[in-house]
Amino acid sequence: MSTIRLGAVDYLNARPLVYGLEQRSDLFSLRFDVPAKCAALLHEGTIDIGMIPSIEYLRGHAPYVIVDGMGIVSEGPVASVALFSAVPLDRIRSIAIDTSSRTSSGLLSVLCRESFGLDPELVPMPPGIESMISRCDAALLIGDPALYLDHGSLGLRKVDLGEQWTALTGLPFVWAFWSGLASAISRDARVALIHARDQGVAASDRIAETYCGPGRAALGRAYLRENIRYTLDDRAAAGLRHFYQLAERHGVVEAAQAPAFF
């Protein structure tokens, strides 16, 4: 049997989900990319299972399923997905959008209309806060660049999108999950992914120290303990369905559909 081609996200928050999978070459071949690239690889069939941004579940050319019970989830502040603004929120007219982002840019579009009362120009740009802010009033950053940014030293305001979502809905937000065609996901694969998740959560402090290095280890440990959850439970699934409905309402996707789980 050929190995399952597995595409993971190359950010700190994804590391507990892939803990030890490099040693499962009998079952998986593993690669790391930014979220947008991971989704593109799944859509084109280069990988079999991808850790995709949740909005990309609605953009595949074939019906995907979600590997049940696992995801990158927050309830309240997420810390690593944020709008950094050089002006007060109500004065924002343009936002530079991190091109690594798919779900986060969709969530921002929803929040601009549902919470912020904004209709800004959205300008896709590579992640780099100085160039983004020189072009636009605010910048959307995701992942490690958002987590590590010392926005105060740059005179920027930080608006945490996870916190804003939970304030709006009272629900968790699902940022990403393992997904692919049902034919590509075996029960052995699901068991191995659950085992990796469980071991990774237990080893989160060690993961943060290895990934972040001494200067940022404390920040990484707190982030994995306090901001990120890895269980896609009933409340998280309700948050996911609600996001899909709002994404359809505001034209982020053509049509919402109920998530299907394997």
Q: How confident is the model at residue 189 (pLDDT cuts 50, 70, 90)?
A: very high
Same domain for 203 and 94: no
Number of domains in the chain: 2
Question: Among 169, 192, 221, which residue terminates a domain?
Answer: 169
By residue range, what is the domain housing residue 59? 4-74+172-249
Question: Please, which residues have CB within 8 angstroms of residue 193's CB and are 6 or more apart in sequence?
Answer: 17, 21, 67, 70, 178
CB 44 within 8 A of CB 138: no
The yes-or-no verdict on residue 1 having pLDDT over 90 is no
Q: How confident is the model at residue 53 (pLDDT cuts 50, 70, 90)?
A: very high
Same domain for 70 and 179: yes
Backbone angles phi, psi at 73, to 5 degrees: -130, 145
User: Residue 261 has what DSSP assignment?
Assistant: B
Domain of residue 10, CATH code: 3.40.190.10
Entry pTM: 0.96
Asked if residue 254 belongs to a domain, the reply is no
Asked if residue 260 belongs to a domain, the reply is no
Alpha carbons 174 and 236: distance in angstroms, whole number: 6
Question: Among 146, 169, 192, which residue terminates a domain?
Answer: 169
Q: Give the mean pLDDT of 160-168.
A: 98
